[in-house]
Structure 1
Amino acid sequence: MPNKVNKGEWAELFVFLKALSDGKIFAADERLNKIEHLFYTILSALNLHEDFKKEYIRDSNSNCIILEENGRELLRVPIQEFKQSADILLKAIQNGKGTFEIPEIEPLLTKLKVDKIKASNDSKKDIIFKIHDHFTGTQPFIGFSIKSYIGSKPTLLNASGATRIHYRCSSDVSEKLREQVHSISTKNKIKDRIQCLKENKVELIFDSLPNSTFERNLQMIDYRMPEILAYLFLTSYSVNGKSVSDVVKNYCQLYNEDMELVEYKVKDLLVAIALGMEPNSKWSGLEDANGGYIVVKEDGEILCYHIYDRNKLREYLYRNTKFDSPSSKRTGAGMFFSENEQEKFSLTVQIRF
């Protein structure tokens, strides 16, 4: 059955083909520009299953990619075929919409025994490469998270029931005001609903994160992080563009917080999300994507932030992410609800590039 997946998932296959055909991935600076003198040599890619291990080894001597299963060679494919397929895949991703098939690529996938494009949902590792580490002289297998800009900007933290935040109201909300707020259905209705509350002298005060796993994960970064994130997201509705850096600045001014301290903690949060932390899975503080972060640019150039470049990754994420308003119909955001005879208001956090 042909693969039918979205652009982000096809981009994972694109990285697999292009990295193996190029034999290296260049590092990026904090502005996502290529660092010409710094790259990571790709020796192979790994595909792990419960019963067997498939390794795709780049052999420069024969100009082939060798497929080994549990250490036994199965076939050789010319590197040129990988390059041509990567070019076909890039054009298809650029032109594709929603979830779609790419029939031209299926014969190669069958030959390579690639039966699934999509990575496991419970892992931030989208791909595992064996690299030559120029810093240590070793050749480790390391996992990378992949984000693609081909076609549309990716999401860093997806909105879900797990990312919901509850706020209590600073004063009683009358039935009339409740109905007035819920009746607002403008293009920016959540922003306008919050503004309506302000105009009626009602402030939103952080109450809780109903998902205890997400709350604990945030507390692994900083015990105050649930509260900080709640007020950052609330502040974002009054900041044009909602860029994380601008929201942090406004939040610190509004709540008289230490800008340097909050910036540091927010960068920690962004890196944690990028490399390991999932809202609905208990997080140990360790990074699942232990190699770093691969970015696919709109033109198909692939660059990476290795774990050694952590400061560059922190700056890149901080400068290039923004808070986002997910669909209120899908998430139930921007609505009042009653809990323990108290009126509360719900918002759902999403962060994207």
Structure 2
Amino acid sequence: MLKGNKGEWSELYTFLKLLGEGELYAADEKMERLHNIYYPIIKVLRIEKGKELEYVCDDEFIIIDDERNNHTTKIPIIEFQKYALLLLDKIKSASGSSFTIQEIDQFLELIKFDTLKSKSSRKSDIRIVVHDSNTGMKPMLGFSIKSKLGRPSTLFNAGKSTNLVYKINGDINDTDLQQINSINTRTHKIRNRLALMEQKDLTLDFVKVSNEMFDLNLKVIDSEMPKILSELVLYYFSGRGSHLSELSKLIEKENPLNYNNLLGHNFYEYKLKAFLRDVALGLTPRKRWDGEFDATGGYIIVKEDGELVCYHIYNQNEFQGYLLNNTKLDTPSSSKHGFGEVYKVGNEYFFNLNFQIRFN
């Protein structure tokens, strides 16, 4: 019997609904369906127990093709529609972090669906062969699934490799170090430590990204990306905002990199959107980033009412706008990831900050 959280069950719901409807619609920046942009679904691919299964849309039936065992199963599309509705209702009404849904077990056995969660090593949660009206081709596209039915998911996870290193400038000594690090308020501990530094006329200057691989990955996007991120993260921990859309406007206004913006170029927004896009489609801190997208189609969003919409690389502007307008910076565990304390190297003092990005 399968057990999972709302996000994991949403992956199954997406699978059933796509096969039941046979098409996937694109969306604008506000997640509203674009009725003139959609992708007819030819088949959905899954790997179960090391075997690749094809779920082929054929008029009123879904044909499950198990090539390894030379076996096919034919199931009416209406069954996929029925169980998608049942599953949506169960997900919405479920309580608790993880749960089972007995009413769907027999159908999942029939369609050879044995696991809820895709491999975490891949950004793509589902692979779909669609008819591409732009080219006339039938590409296989990977999509990452993000559900609005459960808790907001994380776009970018923190780690020790994502620490940003700042040098503390000003008149500071070991007594200040101890006083600042002694602040241990239940909430906003790091913000309060930064506030005390400001009271002492201490300033932070970004030095580097602690991990060279992450630093170079960021510089593949833009040579100034580490510096831009360091400013945004400092704004966040100083209490100046959390939503990336508002932080983007703030950094554009303050222009810490002194770009020539006399003609109205949105330097920071453009670069931040590129960063969010690459993170969404494959960039991770500790693996060399070469710009090759893993989720080769984009994102499928499960909305609160169960409607599915997608952001495909073809409608990149809407996709990047969605990412910017629906994400925020969040605080990871400072003890786990080793940041938020003043420390001394030689005669100089430093302070690390870290971050994760979560959907609103």
Q: Which of 329, 333, 336 does residue 327 from structure 1 map onto?
A: 333
What's the counterpart of residue 245 of structure 1? Answer: 245
Tell me the percent identity: 37
Equivalent position amino acid for 2:23 in 1: K
The answer to whether the Cα contact below 8 Å between 2:167 and 2:204 also exists between their aligned partners in 1 is yes
Question: Over the residues paired in the alignment, what is the CA RMSD in angstroms?
Answer: 2.1
Query: How big is the shift at 1:190?
Result: 1.7
SS in 2 for 1:104: helix
Does the 8 A contact of 1:209 with 1:226 survive in 2?
Answer: yes
The question of 1:70 aligning with 2:59 is answered no
Q: Where do residues 297-316 of structure 1 align in structure 2 (5 Å cutoff)?
A: 297-316=303-322
Could you tell me the TM-score, scaled by structure 2's length?
0.90
CA distance in 2 between counterparts of 1:336 and 1:119 reads 40
CA distance in 1: counterparts of 2:9 and 2:223, whole angstroms: 38
Higher mean C-alpha displacement, 332-341 vs 41-50: 332-341
Deviation at residue 11 of structure 1 after TM alignment? 1.5
State the distance in 2 between where 1:307 and 1:280 align: 24
- 1:56-98 alpha-carbon deviations (Å, 9 max, x no partner): 11221xx221110128443122222212222222233332432
User: CA 1:249–1:132 in structure 2 vs 1: closer, same or farther (change >3 Å)?
Assistant: same
**For residues 82 and 338 of structure 2, what CA distance do their matches in structure 1 show?**
45
Q: Is the 8 A contact 1:239 1:246 kept in 2?
A: no
Task: State how 1:196-345 maps to structure 2 within 5 Å.
Answer: 196-254=196-254, 255=256, 257-258=258-259, 260-339=266-345, 342-345=348-351
Partners of 2:176 and 2:97 in 1: CA distance = 40
- For the Cα contact (< 8 Å) 1:239–1:247, is it kept in 2? no
Query: Which deviates more from structure 2 when the two are superposed, residues 21-30 or residues 49-58?
Result: 49-58
Bigger CA drift: 21-30 or 70-79?
70-79
Alpha-carbon separation, structure 2, partners of 1:294 and 1:198: 43
Alignment partners' CA distance in 2, 1:327 and 1:57: 45
Q: 1:42 to 1:227 in 2, by over 3 A?
A: same
Deviation at 1:142, TM superposition (A): 0.8
| Counterpart selection for 1:91 from 75, 89, 92 | 89
Query: Closer, same or farther in 2 for the Cα pair 1:172/1:46, shift >3 Å?
Result: farther
For 2:346 and 2:107, the matched residues in 1 are separated by: 59
User: Which SS does the other structure have where 1:277 is aligned?
Assistant: coil
Evaluate the alpha carbon distance shift between residue 248 and residue 75 of structure 1 in structure 2; reply closer, same or farther with a 3 A threshold: same
Offset, 1:225:
1.0
Deviation at 1:120, TM superposition (A): 1.7
Distance 1:280 1:37, change over 3 A: same
Distance 1:329 1:100, change over 3 A: farther
Q: Which residue of 2 aligns with 1:38?
A: 37
**Range 308-317 or range 151-160, more displaced:** 151-160
Partner of 2:119, secondary structure, is: coil
CA deviation after TM superposition for structure 1 residue 256, in Å? 5.5
Match of 1:11 in 2: 10
Distance 1:101 1:338 in 2: 51
Report how far residue 291 of structure 1 moved. 1.2
Which residue pairs with 1:169 in the alignment? 168
Distance 1:186 1:82 in 2: 48
1:7–1:150: 8 Å Cα contact kept in structure 2?
yes
Q: Distance in 1 between matches of 2:286 and 2:98?
A: 25
Aligned partner of 1:185 in structure 2 is 185
Tell me, which stretches of 5 or more residues in structure 2 are unaligned? 260-264
**Cα gap change, 1:205 to 1:104, in 2 (>3 Å):** farther
Give the Cα separation in 2 of the matches to 1:99 and 1:339: 46
How far apart are residue 247 of structure 1 and its match?
A: 1.1
Counterpart-to-counterpart distance in 1, 2:349 and 2:65: 61
Distance in 2 (alpha carbons) for counterparts of 1:159 and 1:103: 36
Letter in 1 for 2:273: K
User: Post-superposition shift, 1:108?
Assistant: 2.4
| Structure-2 separation of matches of 1:150 and 1:179 | 45
Structure 2 letter corresponding to 1:203: T
Tell me the number of residue pairs that the alignment of Structure 1 and Structure 2 aligns: 350
Name the CA distance, whole Å, in 2 between partners of 1:312 and 1:295.
13
Partner of residue 21, structure 2: 22
Alpha-carbon spacing, 1:339–1:111, altered in 2? closer, same or farther (3 Å):
farther
Structure 1 residue runs of 5 or longer lacking an equivalent are none
Per-residue deviation, 1:177: 2.5
CA separation of 1:66/1:340 partners in 2, compared to 1, >3 Å: closer, same or farther?
Answer: farther
Of residues 311-320 and 80-89 in structure 1, the stretch that sits farther from structure 2 once superposed is 80-89
Q: Give yes or no for contact 1:128–1:144 (8 Å, CA) kept in 2.
A: yes
